[in-house]
Amino acid sequence: MWGLRSSRTLAVTGALAAFTLLCVLPLAYMLAQAGTAAATHAVLLLDARQRTLLLNTAALGGGTALLATLIGAPLGFVLARVPLRFKPVWRVALAAPLLLPPYVIALAWVYLGGSAGLVAAATGRDLLSGWTYSLPGAVVVLSLVFYPLSMLTTEVALRRIEPRIEEAAFVVAPPGRVLRRITLPLAAPAVGAAALVIFVLAVSEFGVPGLLRVRVFTTEVFTAFAALYDFSRATILTLPLLGLSIVVAAVAALLVGERLLVTRRGATGARPVAFEGWTRRATGAAWCVLAVALVAPLAVLTREAMGVPSVTAIVKGSGEAIRSSLTLAAAGATVASGVAVWIGYARARARRRVGVCADVLLVVLFAVPSTVVGVGLIGVWNRAGVFGRVYGTDGMLLLAYLARFLPVAALALAAGMRYVPASHEEAAAVGGAGWWSTMIHVVLPQVKLALLAAWVVVFILAFGELGASILVAPPGESTLPIRIYTIIANAPAAEVAALALLQTAVVLAPLSLLALGIAIRRPE
């Protein structure tokens, strides 16, 4: 079935070729250009400014990874081990901040800090105004955005633990000791891998440091390219950031290994031990995190948006940006899902070593900083010939979405494909069905929920993408994230808050529908 002219070979090869062009080529170009530029301008890597950027970037990533793990890991334990009513709803609600654009959360805290500044002026006490535009402020904001990664990873790791191990420990030890000595050590590798991924995502973030005026590599790359038009310096600045991201993401993927895709429970099928006496405290902690991470930012934005004179006028004034964002995000999600389904199939059917290498590559590509992706896309497509016809059009925004989020869709669909036994395809082949017929009528119906989830996730992420989009957007064109980010300094706060709320509503709507489908299909 894998012959040179077989339909399966052609489909997978075509998908891999598209994946290489869209995702691998910009990264390869940046690595090649960064190596050449580093040899020419090595002194730039050693000056005091670079050391300051490196220190700030490391502090941002390390602080975010630590704080997000301290918030998310206990919540993951709650979801996996503590009985809660409406647990699917809790899971989706607590995971929602991960899919909101980080700069929207940062914008809410900027407005909150401004309100605190007014109170400080009246009372003589500095509450939040001095904290907002600072490195600790950026760490807190990013931790509130990324803690769901630690939460979900911890939950999956705990659900994979063999329940009989804990049951045996409960015979001779209290719950707290079992948790410290048995449960947490078994989940520690997955929690550590999640912390490494959070570290990479934090050092790769552009919107939050840019909005909070924190000097890190991502903001410096943007300044060098977009403000100073210094492509050589921008390329040099990507070298330490790119190297750090690749190494840490690769270690995280290797640490998780096959568990990145396989999420089944323990081998015996027994239900995990429940810590029933902790329900009330766990519910209170979950409410506190949800209030700080989601409810408070939305309440602050709503309060600011109440001062807008006309919502209709604001929507009309930004109508082109809104339509562009919706159209391009939907197109990006559709293309990404269409390509990723074949990559996910190939990953699910690959041998173990090949599969692990593929996981590492996918995680690394997703971890590449958005500004680095933007500069790489410009370098690849800004040239004469066929590529040059795409440059300067909305197609560059679509390419940015695919370069950033196609790996996410591939990982999601690979996980779904793993649950379709190869014996189903073999049985269909014995019955005389061709491979395309088998995929359409046997395989794809079994992964339709994973396909829907991949589409929704890519749409949400693309709708909020800022770092690469702001670099590759054609002159005169704008998406909603770019418009929000560029009018923050000059437009009234009410108008900016109204647009941010509109973007949040678009993000939460498909997430809510997906959560409803999961709750109906898999009630707990």
Q: Write the CB contacts of 432 (distance below 8 Å, at least 6 apart in sequence).
A: none
Encoded tokens for 363: 């995680």
d(CA 420, CA 446): 7
Most confident of 23-32, 429-438, 513-522: 23-32
Residue 354 has φ and ψ, to the nearest 5°, of: -65, -40
Least confident of 200-209, 307-316, 386-395, 477-486: 307-316
Residue 277 amino acid letter: G
Q: Where in the chain is the domain with CATH 1.10.3720.10?
A: 1-33+309-491, 41-306
Q: Give 233 or 87, the one with higher predicted confidence.
A: 87
Residue 273 has what pLDDT?
55
Counting other chains too, the contacts that 421-427 makes at CB distance below 8 Å and 24 or more residues apart are: 422/349
Least confident of 29-38, 230-239, 256-265: 256-265
Q: With bands split at pLDDT 50, 70 and 90, how would you rate the model's confidence at 37? A: low
Q: Which among 519, 409, 517 is positioned nearest to 461, based on CA atoms?
A: 409
Tell me the Cα Rg of the chain.
24
CATH T-level assignment (fold) for domain 1-33+309-491: MetI-like fold (1.10.3720)
pLDDT at 477 over 80: no
Least confident of 28-32, 204-208, 255-259, 359-363: 255-259
Q: What is the pLDDT of residues 77-103, one digit of tens each?
A: 888 888 888 788 888 889 889 888 898
Q: Averaged over 432-459, what is the pLDDT?
A: 85
Residue 45 has what pLDDT?
53
Q: Write the CB contacts of 35 (distance below 8 Å, at least 6 apart in sequence).
A: 239
Exposed e or buried b for every residue in 115-134, given b needs 16+ CB within 10 A?
bbbeebeeeeeeebbeebee
Residue 510 amino acid letter: P
d(CA 388, CA 125): 56
Domain 41-306 CATH assignment equals 2.50.20.10: no
Encoded tokens for 492: 């009234």
Residue 90 has what pLDDT?
86
Residue 123 has what pLDDT?
43
Q: Averaged over 260-287, what is the pLDDT?
A: 65
CA of 374: how far to CAs of 330, 399, 403, 439, in Å?
A: 20, 10, 9, 35
Q: With bands split at pLDDT 50, 70 and 90, how would you rate the model's confidence at 307? A: confident
Measured in residues, the chain has a length of 524
Residue 139 has what pLDDT?
94
